[in-house]
Chains A and B, each alone.
Chain A
Amino acid sequence: MTETTTTEPWLDSNQKPYIQIVNVTKKFGDFTAIDNLSLDIYKNEFFSLLGPSGCGKTTLLRMLAGFERFTEGRVLVDGEDISEIPPHLRPINMMFQSYALFPHLTVEKNIAFGLKQDKLPDNVINQRVEEMLELVELTDFAKRKPGQLSGGQSQRVALARSLAKQPKLLLLDEPLGALDKRLREQTQFELMDIQEKLEVTFVIVTHDQEEAMTVSSRIGVMDSGKLIQVATPTQIYEAPINREVADFIGDVNIFKGIYKGQDEKGTQLLSEDSKSIIYATQKVDVPVGNRIWFALRPEKLEITRKLPEVDCNILKGKIEDIGYGGSFSTYHVKLKNGRQLTAIRANRERTAEHHLTWGDEVYLHWAPHSAVVLLS
């Protein structure tokens, strides 16, 4: 992931986007699935479309593949307008959620299927198929039929088949959705390796935010046919633009309140929960008295039994629930007004001396720079 953060083509105005989605709208009857959406994706990006089901992410992917025609707008790949090109002529391949392997063909024939359509000579096809089988480590399974493969193997055949034609753009529809958790995590890294090795631009659709954050160079968070935020995983997580994004990606504690201005400690918010002023470093440009929100990730909330030696952002509460997660524990802390906050603490000691338990009176506090100020 480090090399993608060092090269951030979307910040460089000299870089030309590789995939340009321009003012695309898709309507199914009265229902607007995609609402005037524009997006630039750069070469060799691993771009994730993330959103709840029904947000239009799969429709967008299917439009890129050519299976759905859009009502308005256009799509350019490498400068070429592909809007009117039928799916079988697009330089784009797709990996289907169901894998869609041809059940009557062997693994190698499945992988060779696309190459055969290009009427390549047999030796070229065989060589490419062999390379692909090696890439996904399925050489021993070449003669098997899809019915004789496990879920993980089918997934890799589907990937090999969609990569065999060396597409300009690979679309992946929930590629890891059918795998169990352990295999999914392992496959995420394999996908990233393959993407780097082959230098293909990936656009992946997923509803799994952890998956999106692990694999992506950038994430586009979608809802109701619109892109709400397009940014790197870190930005999406640490600087969500509104409560919806903050809430959709990871857990978050939201403090509602009234903007009271700035002082040397930062932005002041009169919290509805504690009826006191709490602080965030981030500055805002709205009139005093406006409603604003602070978002705080649970791991940024410190939980202590002693009164912390800081001069602001201290809340008192009682532990309601503890979720032991092995490497960390999740604490649900109830404030005096009944509001429940979530704090996460790493379990760094094997046998904790300062063991916190149910019913303990505790203090929660955070550094002002840990909070994100949201205007909507």
Chain B
Amino acid sequence: MNIKEIQVPSFLRRAFNGRNAAISIPYLWLLLLFLFPFVIVLKISLAQPVIAMPPYTPLFSWGDSLWPKIQAGLDSYLFLFSDSLYIKAYLSSIKIATISTVLTLIIGYAIAYSIARAPTRWRGILLMLVILPFWTSFLIRVYAWIGILKTEGLLNLALMTLGIIEKPLIIMNTDLAVYIGIVYSYLPFMILPLYANLEKMDMNLLEAAADLGCRPFKTFWNVTIPLSLPGILAGCFLVFIPVIGEFVIPDLLGGTKTLMIGKVLWGEFFYNRDWPVASAVAIIMLLLLVVPIIFYQKSQEKAIS
């Protein structure tokens, strides 16, 4: 019994071998759960809002003719650029994402570095502590910050009891609260890639630097930082990209003045019920993110090769 005796066309054999089947799974996943919804959103963004179910005009309408009439226009996109609110929201999102990425990097680097340099038997436990908050719902953790940051919250109570301040600090519903929330929530995404990088760093390189006359701080600057660049990039992108579209944190912790594109998007969908504009906002946001994503991909390829 030789399986090869059964005549199967070679192109079919090639198409359905195990390797291709394995590779096709992620592609199928992306096709169904990313590309397909994306096309729907793109389609909606080209439509007109109407008061109906669903609240936008269909792309194809048949009417009497044999050929379908295509109804598509860039009205929603033009609208985005006519009202300065949207551009301001995009810029403000980029600003908030940039500042919070830098803050997360500084804090995350310090934590990742100290874990990576801790005695081996401690590292697993410390890393566990970094991941532990994930066991609680993200939403609940952000709500918890309200309890800490509000005027009569834990922080103000503690500071006033200790006599450090006399009047409570106004943190809640400001940009500062948003930064605190973002840095706290996204810190693990910064720590994990940095730790993975710093932990496998060859300690001989640091000794070599010292041996060649480099002071410890300069060694950190001249050797450790450049060598951890792949980890820094990975962490920054993992924080920056989702923060751009962040909705929950600015909505719960931020004030009315905190402008982020995620909040605008939510407003268009649920308050204005203008699905075409909301979709256009989402598409533009995606295009904005393509730039850092491509950079991220490039840096990952470089790190692998």
A358 to B210, CA, bound (A): 59
B209: interface (CB < 8 Å): yes
* B204:A88 contact, CB within 8 angstroms: no
B interface footprint on A334-354 (CB within 8 Å = 1, 0 otherwise): 000000000000000000000
A interface footprint on B200-217 (CB within 8 Å = 1, 0 otherwise): 001011011111111110
B interface footprint on A76-103 (CB within 8 Å = 1, 0 otherwise): 0000000000111100111010101111
Total interface residues on A, CB under 8 Å, equals 24
* A96:B213 contact, CB within 8 angstroms: no
* Interfacial chain B residues near A67, Cβ < 8 Å: 207, 210
Q: Which of A31-39, A111-119, A288-296 contacts B (4 or more CB under 8 A)?
A: A111-119
A interface footprint on B173-212 (CB within 8 Å = 1, 0 otherwise): 0000000000000000000000000000010110111111
* Interfacial chain B residues near A103, Cβ < 8 Å: 227
* A117:B211 contact, CB within 8 angstroms: no
* Interfacial chain B residues near A318, Cβ < 8 Å: none
* A161:B212 contact, CB within 8 angstroms: yes
B124: interface (CB < 8 Å): no
A100 to chain B, nearest CB (A): 4
* Interfacial chain A residues near B212, Cβ < 8 Å: 88, 93, 113-114, 117, 161-162, 165
Among A65, A98, A114, A165, which residue has its beta carbon within 8 angstroms of that of B202?
A98
A95 to B222, CA, bound (A): 19
* B208:A88 contact, CB within 8 angstroms: no
* A100:B210 contact, CB within 8 angstroms: no
The B-contacting residues of A in range 28-68, CB under 8 angstroms, are 65-67
Interface centre among A114, A161, A162 (most CB of B within 10 A): A114
Could you say which interface size class chain B belongs to? 10 to 19
A197: interface (CB < 8 Å): no
A104: interface (CB < 8 Å): yes
* B211:A65 contact, CB within 8 angstroms: yes
* B204:A96 contact, CB within 8 angstroms: yes
A244 to B100, CA, bound (A): 65
* Interfacial chain A residues near B207, Cβ < 8 Å: 65, 67, 87, 94, 96, 100
* Interfacial chain A residues near B168, Cβ < 8 Å: none
Among B202, B211, B215, B226, which residue has its beta carbon within 8 angstroms of that of A93?
B211
Q: A103-B227, A104-B226, A104-B227 are in contact. Are A98 and B213 (CB under 8 A)?
A: no
* Interfacial chain B residues near A66, Cβ < 8 Å: 210-211
* B214:A100 contact, CB within 8 angstroms: no
* A100:B204 contact, CB within 8 angstroms: yes
> A114's closest neighbor in chain B, by CB?
B212
* Interfacial chain A residues near B208, Cβ < 8 Å: 94, 96, 100-102
* B214:A88 contact, CB within 8 angstroms: yes
* A98:B227 contact, CB within 8 angstroms: no
> B205's closest neighbor in chain A, by CB?
A100
Interface centre among B202, B208, B210, B215 (most CB of A within 10 A): B208
B154: interface (CB < 8 Å): no
* A88:B205 contact, CB within 8 angstroms: no
* B211:A98 contact, CB within 8 angstroms: no
A364 to chain B, nearest CB (A): 49
> A113's closest neighbor in chain B, by CB?
B212
A101 to B223, CA, bound (A): 11
* Interfacial chain B residues near A94, Cβ < 8 Å: 207-208, 211
Among A65, A101, A104, A114, which residue has its beta carbon within 8 angstroms of that of B213?
A114
The A-contacting residues of B in range 211-256, CB under 8 angstroms, are 211-216, 218, 222-223, 226-227, 229
Q: A103-B227, A104-B226 are in contact. Are A87 and B204 (CB under 8 A)?
A: no
* Interfacial chain A residues near B226, Cβ < 8 Å: 104
* A87:B205 contact, CB within 8 angstroms: no
* A88:B227 contact, CB within 8 angstroms: no
A161 to B214, CA, bound (A): 14
A104 to B227, CA, bound (A): 7
* Interfacial chain A residues near B222, Cβ < 8 Å: 113
A53 to chain B, nearest CB (A): 18
Would you list 17 pairs from A and B whose C-beta atoms are within 8 A, ordered by A residue?
A: A65-B207, A67-B207, A86-B210, A88-B210, A88-B213, A94-B208, A96-B207, A98-B204, A100-B205, A102-B205, A103-B227, A104-B226, A113-B209, A113-B214, A117-B213, A117-B218, A162-B211
**Ordered nearest first, which 4 A-B pairs have the shortest CB separation?**
A114-B212, A117-B213, A100-B208, A100-B204
Given A87-B211, A114-B213, 6 additional A-B pairs, CB 8 A:
A67-B207, A88-B216, A94-B207, A102-B223, A104-B226, A117-B214
